[in-house]
Amino acid sequence: MLCAAAAVSLLVSCNVEKKKEPVASKEEVKKESKFEHEVEQFADIKVLRYQIPGFEELTLKEKKLVYYMTQAGLAGRDIMWDQNYRHNLEIRKALEKVNNDYKGDKDSEDYKKFKEYLKRVWFSNGIHHHYSNDKLKPTFAKEYLEGLLKETNTNLSAEALEVIFNDKDSKKVNKKAGVDNVLASAINFYGPDITSNDVETFYKTAYKGPESQPIEAGLNSKLVREDGKLVEKVWKSGGMYGQAIDKIIFWLEKAKGVAENEKQGEALGLLIEYYKTGSLDVWDKYCIAWATSTEGNIDWINGFIEVYNDPKGYRGSYETIVEIKDFDMSKKMKVLSDNAQWFEDNSPLLPAHKKKNVVGVSYKTVNVAGEAGDASPSTPIGVNLPNNNWIRQQHGSKSVSLGNIIGAYNNAGGSGRLKEFAHDQEEIDLELKYGKLADKLHTALHEVIGHASGQINKGVGQPKETLKNYASTMEEGRADLVGLYYLMDPKLQELGLVEDWQKVGKAAYDGYIRNGLITQLIRINVGDDIEEDHMVNRQWVSAWAFEQGKKDNVIEKVTKDGKTYFVVNDYIKLREIFGRLLKETQRIKSEGDFEAAKALVEGYGVKVDQEIHKEVKQRNEKFPDAAYSGFVNPVLEPVTDAEGNITDVKIAQPKTFEEQMKFYAKNYNFLPIKN
């Protein structure tokens, strides 16, 4: 789910102490079953916590590496806040000061509403919802906040105060057709007067790297107008966000000193050089160093990664994840990457769109040790890197599944909502018995095979140039379709990944259609269009399949006791439909067919059946569980001797979400309120 090459380095030590592979012990498994995953719930959010299996088995040197990389990640935390919206840091710091200094009645209804708003802002890294992109609306009056600011002697500019309550900058990211997507988006990747046409004009002539090896132009900069000219403000040491980036470099240099081996140290050196220079050519070198490093215990992502928040698909949001390899699960899942060429050869793509040599796809299950930026508090469950297509084709790609995050989600879940929205007991039983495995395999197939599959026709530009605002949802849908096509394939049983491929496939198809056409609607307000790229892709895949199968009643819309269900009647024909859609989706990407992408996304993925939406929201009211979940991070605490040398690293769990947010605000506050 991640793009843009980041920094996953999985390297083995060749000249240091011999060590055991970290694996979860029986004691850790018992601890996991007793562990309290739920922290708290507010608004539409549930906050969870996770453990780090295998951490205690790491050597001291490896623990130091994990610690230094988590510190590097947190050092850039404020970058994500500023990227999300130009007033975010000023607003957050004002709200936090009020929270710390207010001595009045904290049990009043207004203050409780203020506290909930602050928590929502914390969770979303800003004043726009982390998923819907809508501006968060306070349920207290502007006058009440003005009183709090005055009583705590807190400064907040008039513009920042007004924007909390007015309709200005109402969408963080607006990818709708018929509007200027850049002007209509509050994201702080562009100056407030920059238009979509400005962006397209600038990148027609901007440096793009060697002809057959294009850089990810615009990935690490803000495009602004200065003295009438368009210029990039590069995110680097000495440039924009330089104060925080210098702190990132400080910790990366410490990490380089405890690298597991020479090649891992080389990769860290390139990452440091990239942050110092801002050169995207160096970033590509770093991506290649990462893509060709396949062994080791410690893994990380660090950089400007996802481009979903850019309506034009150029700029990457700051993100870090630090991971420890899960050896047992990685061995089991390695079979997918070992057979990547078989999947490519047997896909329903046009022959010209298939890769003749799928290079270096690796898949590993890891346990997260810390996250920051775009990955926290709301986190992905799977990662595929790098994003640059030519690097993927020539040097390969890597995929990881975040095992302890998936485990925490599963342990915190319930079956009530399933029983409400599944059509019958057979569908419920399939989901309860095979659903988790089906989800895990779909994530793996999506990341390992899906994102690595297919190739762009010679002379066709990158998807962000050809498919524009539809590039991200088209890519996610394409990868989903690869997974869906192979989830109903006996090859999975032949490879030893499942015991009953048909039942796993049925559970996967039931769950995908149920989510794509019904249950994901609980996440948006009645009357709204679907806008988040992953939600859009799940609907256009499901809705297109439903329409294509109407003649043969492949998916049936059923009303029972006044409730709507979508029931899969023919799984084999549904697989054929998924195959046809995969073939067309790859053609659109390979040929850069913007109009076909627009027709698919706008025709099937954005608009919602309002009657079904109202019904779904009403049916969901009985469930107390929040629609969204995210995490606090374990706190890594170094143990030092009298000389200040680290002798061990211990793990502590935050008691509350607020405790962690206040800790971060105090210790990782490196940017001014305006950048």
Q: What does the pLDDT read at residue 49? A: 96
User: Quick check: 240 and 227 in contact, CB under 8 A?
Assistant: no
Name the residue ranges covered by the structural domains of the chain.
1-37+189-412, 78-170+631-667, 414-629
Structure tokens at 355: 């890769």
Residues 595 and 497: beta-carbon distance below 8 Å: no
Residue 31 has what pLDDT?
52
Residue with tokens 């496939």: 505
Whose CA is closest to 520, among 509, 502, 535?
Answer: 535
Reduced to 3 states (helix: H, G, I; strand: E, B; else coil), residue 513 is helix
Residue 626 confidence (pLDDT): 85
| Cα 311 from Cα 196, distance rounded (Å) | 9
Give the Cα separation of 166 and 260 in Å (integer): 52
Backbone φ and ψ for 46, nearest 5 degrees, come out as -115, 130
Residue 92 CA to residue 674 CA, distance in Å, equals 12
Query: pLDDT tens for residues 641-664?
Result: 999 999 999 999 999 999 999 999
C-alpha 338/C-alpha 309 separation (Å) is: 33
CA distance 618 to 9: 47
Report yes or no: 555 and 513 within 8 Å, Cβ to Cβ: yes
pLDDT at residue 33, rounded to an integer: 54
Pairwise CA distance, residues 347 & 364, whole Å? 23
Token readout for 180 is 């200027």
State the sign of the Cα–Cα–Cα–Cα dihedral 535, 318, 219, 292.
Answer: negative
Q: What pLDDT sits at residue 10?
A: 29
Q: Rounded to an integer, what distance in angstroms lies between the CA atom of residue 173 and that of residue 85?
A: 10
Helices and strands counted in the chain (H then E): 26, 14
Distance, C-alpha 471 to centroid of its chain:
16
Q: What residue ranges of the chain have pLDDT lower than 50?
A: 1-30
Note the pLDDT of residue 583. Answer: 98
3-state secondary structure of 370: strand
Q: Are 447 and 401 contacting, i.e. CB atoms less than 8 angstroms apart?
A: yes
Q: Rounded distance, CA 565 to CA 421, Å?
A: 7
- Assign 389 to helix, strand or coil: helix
Return the SS3 of 128: strand
Between 1.10.3720.10, 3.30.43.10, 2.60.120.260, 3.30.540.30, what CATH number should domain 1-37+189-412 receive? Answer: 3.30.540.30
CA atoms within 13 A on the CB side of 475: 27
State the pLDDT at residue 497: 93
Tokens at 334, concatenated: 């390695």
